[in-house]
A and B are shown apart, each in its own frame.
Chain A
Amino acid sequence: MAKKYAMIHDNNLCIGCQACSIACRAENKIPNEVYRIQVWIQGPNQHADGSLNYDFHRQSCVHCENPPCVKVCPTKASYINQDGIVLIDKKKCVGCLYCVEACPYKARYVDPVTQAPDKCTFCYESRLSRGEQPACVTVCPTDALIFGDLNNPSDKISQVISRKITYQQKEHLGTRPKMFIVPNTQGGKIR
């Protein structure tokens, strides 16, 4: 059965340390000036009771189930595979950058080496094919990232998603991201 790979980013556990970003760069040999992921630290926000906290925004491809980048690509170089991961077939890419502009999440950059767009692939070609978890997930010191197959009810991600309240970014656009965010109540504090 086809998989439905997804990820959870738990804002209560994230501390904005960028370990995920560094691991991604090392694993996927990302050129210096571009990023597949960053974690943006926003705030501090003040609560009604006067206490402060930070928000952590994972800036990366959210692997839309209904991806605008795939819809607009004229050559089908951008595609969604049987496991729900959005990938780029560089051989077919003409570099029109329609996908870069059409992505509402600003997830794509132009690779300075290949001149084709690139982005997070959930480490599909590398670690996933070897049966390993994506690099960012393995290195996260607080286990704020959970990765797995939503079609498998016994997978950890299915269980956490059933239990915790999550949201997806820009849901109103109908892109149906497979990146689920646990909203922040106390982000940055270790409890």
Chain B
Amino acid sequence: MNQLWGSMDQYHQIAWHWEIAVYLFLAGLSAGAAISAVVVKKISHHSESNGLVKAGAVIAPIAIAAGLLLLIFDLTRPLNFWRLLVHYNFTSVMSVGVLALFIYFPLTLLLFAATFHEKFSSGMFACFKPIAGLAKSLGKVIDALVLLFGVIIGAYTGFLLSAMNSHSLLNTPVLPILFLASGLSSGICANIIVGMVWFHQDLNINEVASLDHTDKIIIYIELLLLFALFVGMFYQGQEAAATAAQALTHSAWAGVFWIGAVGVGLLLPLVLNFAFSSSFKSSPSKFIMFNATLVILGVLSLRFYILYAGQMFS
């Protein structure tokens, strides 16, 4: 339409696109993989030679590094990106997040070095041997810090969005917890998949099954959180209630939510688990891997949905 007052395009544009959705996904996945690796290390017998721990130690740094690259290239002035490291604003979740990432990223590298310290004893990467040795000897401290900063990173991706009172789908205290929970879930599943593909000789299938079981519990929690999010909006007054109704029914994003995030990511894994639990024993690893893939796709859909629907409907 051509109004008397001119083009309204700028009022319908959204600022954050797929790069940010993927970043939010990768940051959550990295944090979830790191957290679950450290937890498995604490409770399993073989500690760091455990395939699940190795998987987490590989995934955590790679996922966060890939996410950060996307983040930088999505800036409209990427050459200015270094200013994020020099100027800080403590009321900005983004700025606090940069600080947290400053600590978290090296921590994941140390986790990697500690887990694979033998690989650094000779050969091409022998120059990292002292660092790997140090990381190994500080193992306990590093684990504790990874746990702490994993939770911080997982939740911060939610606070980043919930800090904006311009959008009622985003401006809710449920979001950081939802993102932490779903990030943890995707991290667990990534650890299971990578563990089974690359480190299967170091895997104990019972441990995989119990991690998979933990993931199912997190899925129930996510369903509850999503329910709380929308019911909460319904009672937050007319504006938020209308946004909730729109976000659940309008545009392709409602489809991404119902089919992708809820259907494929949450309900299907639960239903499959329930329906096939008897045949599960015959080829457990394929079944668990398939389920884990569904969960990861669901978490990715959830990030896309929240980011896009959140910005579109105010």
Contact = CB atoms under 8 A, between A and B. Distances in A.
A95 B75 contact: yes
Interface in B129-185: 163-167
A118 to B, nearest CB: 11
Interface stretch (A104-112, A160-168, A182-190): A104-112
A94 B91 CA distance: 17
Contacts of A122: none
B225 interface: no
B77 A94 contact: yes
A74 B163 contact: no
Contacts of B47: none
A115 interface: yes
A93 interface: yes
Interface stretch (A6-14, A35-43, A126-134): A35-43
A101 interface: yes
Interface in A22-37: 33-35
Given A16-B4, A18-B4, A39-B5, A92 B87 contact: yes
Given A33-B9, A116-B76, A75 B166 contact: no
15 contacts: A18-B5, A38-B8, A71-B91, A72-B163, A74-B88, A77-B83, A92-B80, A94-B75, A94-B81, A94-B83, A96-B94, A98-B92, A101-B166, A103-B166, A115-B77
Of the listed residues A39, A76, A116, the one surrounded by the most CB atoms of chain B closer than 10 A to its CB is A76
B76 A95 contact: yes
A38 B89 CA distance: 32
A76 B164 CA distance: 17
A97 interface: yes
A98 B75 CA distance: 10
A120 interface: no
Interface of B: 3-11, 14-16, 75-78, 80-81, 83-84, 86-89, 91-95, 98, 163-167, 311, 314
Interface of A: 16, 18, 21, 33-35, 38-41, 59, 68, 71-77, 92-98, 100-104, 106, 109-110, 115-116, 173
Given A18-B6, A35-B6, 20 more contacts: A16-B4, A71-B92, A72-B93, A73-B89, A74-B87, A74-B88, A74-B89, A74-B94, A74-B95, A75-B95, A76-B87, A93-B80, A95-B77, A96-B75, A97-B16, A102-B164, A106-B11, A110-B76, A115-B76, A173-B165
Nearest to A173: B165
Contacts of B10: 33-35, 109
Contact of A101 (B76, B98, B164): B164
Given A39-B5, A96-B75, A104 B94 contact: no
Nearest to A114: B77
Contacts of A95: 75-78, 80
A33 B92 contact: no
A34 B12 CA distance: 12
Contacts of A39: 5
Nearest to B93: A72
B176 to A, nearest CB: 15
Contact of A93 (B4, B77, B88, B93): B77
Contacts of A104: 165-166, 314
B165 A101 contact: no
B94 A98 contact: yes
A33 to B, nearest CB: 6
Contacts of A68: 164-166
Of the listed residues A18, A71, A94, the one surrounded by the most CB atoms of chain B closer than 10 A to its CB is A94
Nearest to A25: B6
A72 B77 CA distance: 17
Of the listed residues A72, A76, A92, the one surrounded by the most CB atoms of chain B closer than 10 A to its CB is A72
Contact of B4 (A41, A75, A92, A110): A41
Nearest to A32: B7
Nearest to B95: A74
Contacts of A77: 83, 87
Given A38-B6, A40-B5, A97-B16, A72 B164 contact: yes
